[in-house]
Amino acid sequence: MAQNHDEERRSPRSKVLLSAVVEWDGGSLPVILRDLSEHGALVESTATIPVDSEVLFCRNDLRVRGHVAWVRGPAAGISFAQPLKADVLLRSINRPARRSVDDNLHRRPGVTANGMSTEEQRWFDEMTRQPADRGRK
């Protein structure tokens, strides 16, 4: 029975979709970072990175030496020479800033008279009347 690769990992991986660059003696290549862990990264590119190459993985201010452990089609696994510390790893996976939301666009009607607009109060009064009273004003 085949083992799950996640069980064999030395550290958990964070699934991401970020841009990065891989540099080596023969050149440099923009890549898409698919996942990142303390010990390595999974990248995709339009060109092939030579397997067993010594590389410099670059993402924003992060620069990590490593080597290309494997290449399968457009995907490549990079094994870092030194494990990343947790705080460095988390900084590299910057979460998008929360967007401000206009509270008026997503406002739920209140259930008290001073929490409702005049129209909401009229609607509430209409909906809570007894069925026999609905036609009368």
pLDDT in tens, 72-125: 999 999 999 999 887 777 776 665 566 776 666 666 655 665 667 788 788 888
Return the amino acid letter for 109.
P
pLDDT in tens, 30-80: 999 999 888 999 999 998 888 899 999 998 888 999 999 999 999 999 999
Return the amino acid letter for 33.
L
Rounded Cα distance, 29 and 74, in Å: 12
Report how far apart, in Å, the C-alpha atoms of 132 and of each of 101, 120, 123, 127, 128 are.
Answer: 42, 21, 17, 12, 11
Nearest Cα to Cα of residue 16 among 50, 46, 60:
60
In the chain the domains, ranked by start, together with CATH numbers, are: 5-92 (2.40.10.220)
